[in-house]
Structure 1
Protein backbone atom coordinates (compact mmCIF):
# COMPACT_ATOMS: atom_id res chain seq x y z
CA UNK A 1 0.00 0.00 0.00
CA UNK A 2 2.86 2.41 0.55
CA UNK A 3 3.61 2.60 -3.16
CA UNK A 4 0.13 4.11 -3.66
CA UNK A 5 0.92 7.00 -1.35
CA UNK A 6 -1.86 6.24 1.10
CA UNK A 7 -2.36 9.22 3.37
CA UNK A 8 -4.17 7.57 6.27
CA UNK A 9 -7.59 6.56 7.47
CA UNK A 10 -10.57 8.63 6.34
CA UNK A 11 -13.82 7.65 8.11
CA UNK A 12 -16.13 9.77 5.91
CA UNK A 13 -15.40 7.29 3.15
CA UNK A 14 -17.55 4.77 5.04
CA UNK A 15 -20.51 7.18 4.83
CA UNK A 16 -20.10 7.68 1.08
CA UNK A 17 -20.02 3.95 0.54
CA UNK A 18 -22.60 2.67 3.05
CA UNK A 19 -25.37 5.29 2.97
CA UNK A 20 -26.88 3.91 -0.27
CA UNK A 21 -26.72 0.38 1.17
CA UNK A 22 -28.50 1.52 4.33
CA UNK A 23 -31.20 3.15 2.20
CA UNK A 24 -31.59 -0.04 0.18
CA UNK A 25 -31.96 -2.18 3.28
CA UNK A 26 -34.53 0.14 4.87
CA UNK A 27 -36.55 0.46 1.64
CA UNK A 28 -36.50 -3.30 1.17
CA UNK A 29 -37.30 -4.22 4.79
CA UNK A 30 -39.91 -1.54 5.50
CA UNK A 31 -41.17 -0.85 1.99
CA UNK A 32 -44.83 -1.73 2.56
CA UNK A 33 -44.95 0.45 5.67
CA UNK A 34 -43.12 3.36 4.03
CA UNK A 35 -45.24 3.42 0.87
CA UNK A 36 -44.49 6.72 -0.93
CA UNK A 37 -41.89 7.75 1.63
CA UNK A 38 -39.56 5.07 0.25
CA UNK A 39 -38.78 7.32 -2.71
CA UNK A 40 -37.89 10.25 -0.52
CA UNK A 41 -35.87 8.07 1.84
CA UNK A 42 -33.93 6.55 -1.05
CA UNK A 43 -33.31 10.00 -2.52
CA UNK A 44 -32.22 11.38 0.85
CA UNK A 45 -29.61 8.67 1.38
CA UNK A 46 -28.17 9.28 -2.09
CA UNK A 47 -28.17 13.04 -1.45
CA UNK A 48 -26.37 12.48 1.86
CA UNK A 49 -23.75 10.37 0.07
CA UNK A 50 -23.35 13.18 -2.48
CA UNK A 51 -22.84 15.73 0.31
CA UNK A 52 -20.31 13.44 2.01
CA UNK A 53 -18.48 13.16 -1.31
CA UNK A 54 -18.46 16.94 -1.66
CA UNK A 55 -17.10 17.27 1.87
CA UNK A 56 -14.33 14.87 0.93
CA UNK A 57 -13.18 17.07 -1.95
CA UNK A 58 -10.83 19.18 0.16
CA UNK A 59 -9.31 16.23 1.96
CA UNK A 60 -8.72 14.28 -1.24
CA UNK A 61 -7.17 17.23 -3.04
CA UNK A 62 -4.75 18.01 -0.18
CA UNK A 63 -3.00 14.65 -0.46
CA UNK A 64 -0.89 13.51 -3.36
CA UNK A 65 -1.88 9.89 -2.75
CA UNK A 66 -5.14 8.23 -1.87
CA UNK A 67 -7.14 8.38 1.35
CA UNK A 68 -7.60 4.99 2.95
CA UNK A 69 -11.02 4.05 4.26
CA UNK A 70 -11.50 0.41 5.15
CA UNK A 71 -8.69 -2.02 4.59
CA UNK A 72 -8.47 -5.57 5.80
CA UNK A 73 -7.22 -8.97 4.85
CA UNK A 74 -10.04 -11.26 3.74
CA UNK A 75 -9.96 -14.70 5.34
CA UNK A 76 -7.56 -17.61 5.22
CA UNK A 77 -8.93 -19.00 1.94
CA UNK A 78 -7.89 -15.89 0.04
CA UNK A 79 -4.23 -15.56 0.92
CA UNK A 80 -2.83 -12.29 -0.27
CA UNK A 81 -6.26 -10.81 -1.02
CA UNK A 82 -6.98 -7.47 0.62
CA UNK A 83 -10.12 -5.38 0.37
CA UNK A 84 -9.89 -1.66 0.77
CA UNK A 85 -11.60 1.57 -0.10
CA UNK A 86 -9.44 4.28 -1.60
CA UNK A 87 -10.37 7.86 -2.40
CA UNK A 88 -8.12 9.62 -4.87
CA UNK A 89 -9.00 12.51 -7.22
CA UNK A 90 -10.18 10.20 -10.02
CA UNK A 91 -12.39 8.03 -7.79
CA UNK A 92 -13.72 11.19 -6.14
CA UNK A 93 -14.86 12.59 -9.48
CA UNK A 94 -16.57 9.31 -10.34
CA UNK A 95 -18.20 9.15 -6.90
CA UNK A 96 -19.55 12.67 -7.46
CA UNK A 97 -20.95 11.64 -10.84
CA UNK A 98 -22.52 8.45 -9.48
CA UNK A 99 -24.13 10.10 -6.45
CA UNK A 100 -25.11 13.31 -8.28
CA UNK A 101 -26.70 11.64 -11.29
CA UNK A 102 -28.13 8.93 -9.04
CA UNK A 103 -29.85 11.58 -6.92
CA UNK A 104 -31.40 13.25 -9.97
CA UNK A 105 -32.64 9.88 -11.24
CA UNK A 106 -34.10 9.08 -7.81
CA UNK A 107 -36.00 12.37 -7.64
CA UNK A 108 -37.33 11.95 -11.19
CA UNK A 109 -38.37 8.38 -10.44
CA UNK A 110 -40.55 9.44 -7.51
CA UNK A 111 -43.07 10.94 -9.93
CA UNK A 112 -42.51 8.40 -12.67
CA UNK A 113 -43.03 5.38 -10.43
CA UNK A 114 -45.86 6.80 -8.30
CA UNK A 115 -48.75 4.41 -8.06
CA UNK A 116 -46.66 1.38 -8.99
CA UNK A 117 -47.05 -1.73 -6.83
CA UNK A 118 -43.28 -2.18 -6.53
CA UNK A 119 -42.51 1.45 -5.65
CA UNK A 120 -40.45 0.74 -2.52
CA UNK A 121 -38.73 -2.27 -4.09
CA UNK A 122 -37.70 -0.13 -7.07
CA UNK A 123 -35.98 2.36 -4.77
CA UNK A 124 -34.34 -0.43 -2.82
CA UNK A 125 -32.87 -1.74 -6.07
CA UNK A 126 -31.84 1.75 -7.18
CA UNK A 127 -30.04 2.40 -3.90
CA UNK A 128 -28.34 -0.97 -4.11
CA UNK A 129 -27.23 -0.16 -7.66
CA UNK A 130 -25.65 3.10 -6.49
CA UNK A 131 -23.93 1.17 -3.68
CA UNK A 132 -22.58 -1.34 -6.22
CA UNK A 133 -21.31 1.43 -8.50
CA UNK A 134 -19.58 3.15 -5.58
CA UNK A 135 -18.00 -0.17 -4.63
CA UNK A 136 -16.56 -0.46 -8.14
CA UNK A 137 -15.19 3.08 -8.06
CA UNK A 138 -13.84 3.15 -4.50
CA UNK A 139 -12.50 -0.41 -4.14
Structure 2
Protein backbone atom coordinates (compact mmCIF):
# COMPACT_ATOMS: atom_id res chain seq x y z
CA UNK A 1 0.00 0.00 0.00
CA UNK A 2 1.32 3.41 -0.88
CA UNK A 3 0.19 6.93 -1.61
CA UNK A 4 1.25 8.02 -5.07
CA UNK A 5 2.03 11.73 -5.41
CA UNK A 6 -0.14 13.90 -7.58
CA UNK A 7 0.58 13.50 -11.28
CA UNK A 8 -0.71 16.72 -12.80
CA UNK A 9 0.34 15.52 -16.27
CA UNK A 10 -2.94 13.58 -16.60
CA UNK A 11 -4.88 16.85 -16.43
CA UNK A 12 -4.73 17.93 -20.07
CA UNK A 13 -7.33 19.14 -22.53
CA UNK A 14 -8.42 21.80 -24.92
CA UNK A 15 -8.21 25.51 -24.18
CA UNK A 16 -10.68 28.06 -25.50
CA UNK A 17 -9.06 31.46 -24.80
CA UNK A 18 -11.78 33.35 -26.67
CA UNK A 19 -14.27 32.35 -23.94
CA UNK A 20 -12.18 33.78 -21.09
CA UNK A 21 -13.03 32.58 -17.58
CA UNK A 22 -16.41 31.25 -18.77
CA UNK A 23 -14.60 28.71 -20.94
CA UNK A 24 -12.31 27.24 -18.30
CA UNK A 25 -12.05 23.49 -18.06
CA UNK A 26 -11.09 21.29 -15.13
CA UNK A 27 -7.52 20.83 -16.35
CA UNK A 28 -7.06 24.61 -16.27
CA UNK A 29 -8.35 25.08 -12.75
CA UNK A 30 -7.17 22.05 -10.77
CA UNK A 31 -4.14 22.30 -8.50
CA UNK A 32 -2.15 19.78 -6.51
CA UNK A 33 -3.44 19.37 -2.96
CA UNK A 34 -0.91 19.80 -0.19
CA UNK A 35 -2.42 18.62 3.12
CA UNK A 36 0.27 20.50 5.03
CA UNK A 37 -0.35 23.88 3.40
CA UNK A 38 -3.07 26.40 4.03
CA UNK A 39 -5.33 26.27 1.01
CA UNK A 40 -8.64 27.89 0.23
CA UNK A 41 -11.56 25.52 0.97
CA UNK A 42 -12.72 23.63 -2.09
CA UNK A 43 -13.01 20.11 -3.48
CA UNK A 44 -10.25 17.49 -3.17
CA UNK A 45 -10.11 14.51 -5.53
CA UNK A 46 -8.38 11.32 -4.37
CA UNK A 47 -7.71 8.29 -6.51
CA UNK A 48 -8.12 4.78 -5.12
CA UNK A 49 -6.20 2.29 -7.26
CA UNK A 50 -7.40 -1.05 -5.96
CA UNK A 51 -8.65 -4.30 -7.47
CA UNK A 52 -8.49 -6.28 -4.22
CA UNK A 53 -12.15 -5.91 -3.24
CA UNK A 54 -13.27 -6.63 -6.80
CA UNK A 55 -11.08 -9.76 -6.91
CA UNK A 56 -12.42 -11.02 -3.57
CA UNK A 57 -15.95 -10.76 -4.97
CA UNK A 58 -15.00 -12.57 -8.19
CA UNK A 59 -15.57 -9.36 -10.17
CA UNK A 60 -13.95 -8.09 -13.32
CA UNK A 61 -10.57 -6.53 -12.53
CA UNK A 62 -9.69 -3.07 -13.76
CA UNK A 63 -10.90 -0.74 -11.04
CA UNK A 64 -7.25 -0.06 -10.12
CA UNK A 65 -6.82 1.69 -13.48
CA UNK A 66 -9.81 3.94 -12.94
CA UNK A 67 -8.30 6.94 -11.10
CA UNK A 68 -6.11 8.22 -13.93
CA UNK A 69 -8.56 7.11 -16.61
CA UNK A 70 -11.29 9.13 -14.90
CA UNK A 71 -8.98 12.10 -14.41
CA UNK A 72 -8.23 12.13 -18.13
CA UNK A 73 -11.95 11.91 -18.96
CA UNK A 74 -12.86 14.72 -16.53
CA UNK A 75 -10.01 17.03 -17.56
CA UNK A 76 -11.83 18.50 -20.54
CA UNK A 77 -15.13 19.20 -18.78
CA UNK A 78 -16.17 22.81 -18.26
CA UNK A 79 -15.67 24.10 -14.71
CA UNK A 80 -18.30 26.61 -13.64
CA UNK A 81 -17.86 26.17 -9.91
CA UNK A 82 -16.15 29.03 -8.12
CA UNK A 83 -14.60 26.72 -5.51
CA UNK A 84 -10.99 25.63 -5.95
CA UNK A 85 -10.40 22.10 -7.18
CA UNK A 86 -7.47 20.03 -5.93
CA UNK A 87 -5.96 16.65 -6.75
CA UNK A 88 -4.71 14.80 -3.66
CA UNK A 89 -3.00 11.92 -5.46
CA UNK A 90 -3.80 8.22 -5.39
CA UNK A 91 -3.87 5.64 -2.62
CA UNK A 92 -2.73 2.38 -4.19
CA UNK A 93 -3.29 -1.19 -2.99
CA UNK A 94 -0.29 -3.05 -4.36
CA UNK A 95 0.11 -5.67 -1.62
CA UNK A 96 -3.41 -7.20 -1.23
CA UNK A 97 -3.80 -5.54 2.19
CA UNK A 98 -7.25 -4.09 1.56
CA UNK A 99 -7.89 -3.13 5.19
CA UNK A 100 -4.69 -1.10 5.50
CA UNK A 101 -5.30 0.56 2.13
CA UNK A 102 -8.85 1.52 3.17
CA UNK A 103 -7.49 2.94 6.42
CA UNK A 104 -4.95 5.03 4.49
CA UNK A 105 -7.66 6.41 2.19
CA UNK A 106 -9.87 7.06 5.21
CA UNK A 107 -7.08 9.06 6.89
CA UNK A 108 -6.56 11.16 3.75
CA UNK A 109 -10.28 11.87 3.44
CA UNK A 110 -10.66 12.61 7.15
CA UNK A 111 -7.86 15.16 7.06
CA UNK A 112 -9.24 16.90 3.96
CA UNK A 113 -12.81 17.02 5.31
CA UNK A 114 -11.82 19.61 7.90
CA UNK A 115 -11.91 22.24 5.12
CA UNK A 116 -12.94 20.58 1.87
CA UNK A 117 -15.44 18.35 0.17
CA UNK A 118 -13.93 15.10 -1.08
CA UNK A 119 -14.48 12.98 -4.18
CA UNK A 120 -12.87 9.54 -4.59
CA UNK A 121 -12.19 8.10 -8.03
CA UNK A 122 -11.64 4.41 -8.66
CA UNK A 123 -11.78 1.21 -6.74
CA UNK A 124 -14.88 -0.87 -6.24
CA UNK A 125 -17.38 -0.83 -3.40
CA UNK A 126 -14.54 -0.76 -0.89
CA UNK A 127 -14.23 3.02 -1.34
CA UNK A 128 -17.59 3.38 0.42
CA UNK A 129 -16.26 1.79 3.64
CA UNK A 130 -13.12 3.93 3.57
CA UNK A 131 -15.20 7.07 3.02
CA UNK A 132 -17.61 6.15 5.83
CA UNK A 133 -14.73 5.60 8.26
CA UNK A 134 -13.41 9.08 7.46
CA UNK A 135 -16.40 10.94 8.85
CA UNK A 136 -15.99 12.16 12.42
CA UNK A 137 -18.20 10.57 15.04
CA UNK A 138 -20.57 13.07 16.64
Scaled by the length of structure 2, the TM-score of the pair is: 0.30
- Greater radius of gyration (CA): 1
> Which has a greater percent of helix?
1
Scaled by the length of structure 1, the TM-score of the pair is: 0.30
> Which has a greater percent of strand?
2
